[in-house]
Amino acid sequence: MRLRNKVTIVTGAASGFGKAIATRFVQEGATVVVADINGDGAKQVAAELGELATAFTCDVSRKDDVEALVAHAHGRGDRLDAVVNNAGWTHRNQPMLGVDEATFDRVFAINVKSIFHMTHAAVPLMRRARSGVILNVGSVAGLRPRPGLTWYNASKGAANLLSKSLAAELAPDGIRVNAICPVIGATGLFGEFMGVPDTPENRRRFLATIPLGRFCEPDDVAHAAVFLASDEASFITGVELPVDGGRCI
């Protein structure tokens, strides 16, 4: 019960990494707001997790939505202990000049601007409490980029660096900020990351770049999130933690 009584938000929690993080947080005793633009999916996950979880429909690229989400979470226990900015989006793996402006804007709005909105909404509450944890789900794409995902790579590079800069600025307030950087995983965006048909041969090509020989699983990210959100990591801030099976070696 490493997160007992902690009030937390997990965005993009209706599926994939976010669902696994929300699940593990509840198992560790946290009160979790399952936030997702897919409201029905969020409600289903919250129902599965029981009384410690509530659902909230939220477009993380919209300031008003994020402010309402934070207010809802704060109302669950008159506190906000941890936020996991997990919601993300990508463009299809393709040459950089093939990505149009609308797609670029959407990727940066969800992957980067969402952190701006969440920081503005959550940090004042954490500052008053003199404690708090912000976890940004970045990516190894922001550490060791693959060709064909240039604009996505840039957005995750921004998320990774934001985490370090926020950590430096917020440390005097008792707020820790870290980035979790997964390698490609079999989530709903798997086909977009590959940019080619999902065949055994194409999977083998991607697996060949991961020394431990498998894709990232949602629980791999969730275990890292539990540790970084817990008091066991009370002296850890500003790290970009690869959860990548050795991809960045």
210 neighbors 245 (Cβ within 8 angstroms): yes
Q: Give CA–CA dist 237/14, Å, rounded.
A: 27
* Catalytic option among 25, 56, 108, 152: 152
Residue 39: Cβ within 10 Å count: 14
Residues 6+ apart with CB under 8 A from 84: 8, 9, 10, 11, 18, 21, 135, 137, 225, 229
Long-range contacts of the stretch 96-103 (C-beta < 8 A, 24+) = 96/148, 96/150, 96/151, 99/150, 99/151, 103/151
Q: Give CA–CA dist 77/233, Å, rounded.
A: 23
Tokens encoding 76: 């669950």
CA 241 from centroid of its chain's CA atoms: 12
**Residue holding tokens 């704060």?**
74
Q: Give CA–CA dist 124/207, Å, rounded.
A: 43
Q: Up-side HSE of residue 241: CA atoms within 13 Å toward CB?
A: 21
Would you call 35 a catalytic residue per the annotation?
no
- Return the beta strands (E) in 60-129 as ranges: 82-85
Catalogue the active-site residues.
152
